[in-house]
DNA sequence: CAGTGAAGCGGAGGAAGCCTCCGCTTGATG
DNA sequence: CATCAAGCGGAGGCTTCCTCCGCTTCACTG
């Protein structure tokens, strides 16, 4: 790739990050191009679809997911506290950008989504936590990772749409934790 | 209201119902106007915002909600079966039109949404079921109606976005039921 | 029944966003 | 330096939104 093309690409990702943060993942792409100082054609050559741009942006988050799992699992207390801490991290990771939770979770089941690799990282992270719970014998039988991811995605989407704070989200996560753990 | 205006209004609601059913709640309003045989100005005079039109359409569903509660509560089996039957009704009522679940649930907490009266009906229906569960002593302490509505709204939204069938939704509802009931 | 005024109608059209196409520019290479 | 493909910009066609305003039609009155 030519050096100027490389520069433009990086600049586009940087600007898109800011624009999406301000106005959500549905923000006008023409504005991303304008603020990056390139023509729309250039944007669409680098990122043929909106999803391609989303994917490029999320690449930076993905690296952090593992760290968030560890952080949650280091929480003081028993399995329930650890699980809830992780659920909170999960929701918070999904709601970084307006509109992200719904988009990411929607692509969970579908093989050909451009976001598939991203959402798979989230699903894998959740699975690792559930597995650890199972090893401690606190997980109910028949709890499926995909279902839990979708439940959390649903909570995150509601939090996104209604601008909920952590204290409003917590009781929903409590219900899910109760539903997932033996007691 | 003049007779012709009344006719147009009814026709618009009828056509909007069909268009939204085919193409989701985000379908172009100009097409609603075109198919109703009126100018866009007429549509926007009767329904100044998209939400106003949504509200008019949902008015017809609202009458049915009570019947669905009764239907679910008549299910064979114990409290758990009744609750799950109601959860399934709830999700199915929310996913009649593409995009409805997210919109309705988003307006749950906010007083000034044009959909407030509609979503309140759903919330009231759910509350009546939860109250009955509480009277049978099977409900956990501290379970809040709004939280359960949001959880179900989240499930419905995920079902909508991922085109899930009842059999895919059921396990998520199981988790919520476990989380809400004593056991 | 005709006249009148207001209620209501239609659709042109500006604005915003999407995305493509193509002529021009520029970086890489010999 | 010369060459030329890779890459760029932005004009512009398309769709959808929503408003504005001149014309039509209804309802009411004498």
A-to-B residue pairs, Cβ atoms closer than 8 angstroms? 100
Give the pLDDT score at A61. 84
Give the pLDDT score at B72. 98
Q: Which residue in A144, A154, A171 is closest to B157 by CB distance?
A: A154
Q: Decide if pLDDT at A98 tops 90.
A: yes
Give the pLDDT score at A167. 98
- Chain B residues within an 8 Å CB radius of A105: 158, 161-162
Smallest Cα distance from B130 to chain A, Å: 14
Q: How far apart are CA A13 and CA B126, in angstroms?
A: 44
Smallest Cα distance from A165 to chain B, Å: 12
Q: Decide if pLDDT at B113 tops 90.
A: no
Q: Which residue in B147, B171, B179 is closest to A147 by CB distance?
A: B171
Give the pLDDT score at A43. 98
Residue B18: alpha-carbon gap to chain centroid: 17
Q: Decide if pLDDT at A134 tops 90.
A: yes
Question: Are A158 and B110 in contact (CB < 8 Å)?
Answer: no
Q: What is the DSSP string of chain B?
A: --HHHHHHHHHHHHHHHHHHHHH-TTS-HHHHHHHHTS-HHHHHHH-SSHHHHHHHHHHHHHHHHHHHHHHHHT-SS-HHHHHHHHHHHHHHHHTSSTTHHHHHHHTSS-TT-TTHHHHHHHHHHHHHHHHHHHHTT-BPTT--HHHHHHHHHHHHHHHHHHT--HHHHHHHHHHHHHHHB--
Give the pLDDT score at A111. 83
Confidence band, pLDDT 50/70/90 cuts, at residue B111: confident
A37 CA to C26 C1' in angstroms comes to: 17
B34 touches strand D (CB under 7 A): no
Nucleotide of closest approach to A39 (CA, C1'): D9
Across the range A75-90, mean pLDDT stands at 97
User: Is the C-alpha dihedral spanning B162, B167, B171, B174 positive or negative?
Assistant: positive
Question: Are A158 and B161 in contact (CB < 8 Å)?
Answer: no
Residues B71-109 pLDDT 10s: 999 999 999 999 999 999 999 999 999 999 999 999 998
Average pLDDT, chain A: 96
Q: Decide if pLDDT at A118 tops 90.
A: no
From the number of C-beta atoms within 10 Å of its C-beta (0-12, 13-18, 19+), residue A85 rates as buried
A4 touches strand D (CB under 7 A): yes
A45 touches strand D (CB under 7 A): yes
Q: How many residues does chain A have?
A: 183
CB-proximal positions of chain D, under 7 Å: 6-12, 15-21, 25-27
Give the pLDDT score at B110. 85
Across the range B163-178, mean pLDDT stands at 98
Residues A5-61 pLDDT 10s: 999 999 999 999 999 999 999 999 999 999 999 999 999 999 999 999 999 999 888
Q: Which residue in B110, B144, B158 is closest to A150 by CB distance?
A: B158
Q: Give A115 or B129, the one with higher predicted confidence.
A: B129
């Amino acid at each position: 790739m030519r050096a100027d093309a490389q520069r433009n690409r990086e600049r586009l990702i940087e600007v898109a990050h800011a624009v999406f943060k301000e106005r959500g993942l549905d923000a006008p792409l023409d504005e991303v191009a304008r603020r990056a100082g390139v023509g729309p054609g250039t944007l669409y050559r680098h990122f043929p679809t909106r999803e391609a741009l989303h994917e490029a942006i999320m690449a930076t988050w993905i690296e952090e997911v593992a760290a968030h799992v560890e952080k949650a699992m280091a929480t003081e207390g028993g399995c329930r506290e650890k699980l809830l801490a992780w659920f909170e991290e999960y929701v918070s990771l999904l709601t970084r950008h307006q509109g992200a939770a719904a988009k990411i979770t929607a692509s969970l089941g579908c093989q050909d989504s451009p976001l598939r690799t991203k959402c798979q990282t989230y699903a894998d992270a959740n699975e690792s936590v559930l597995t650890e719970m199972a090893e401690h014998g606190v997980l109910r039988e028949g709890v499926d990772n995909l279902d839990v991811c979708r439940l959390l995605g649903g909570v995150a989407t509601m939090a996104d749409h209604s601008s909920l704070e952590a204290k409003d989200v917590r009781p929903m996560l409590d219900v899910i934790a109760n539903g997932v753990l033996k007691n």
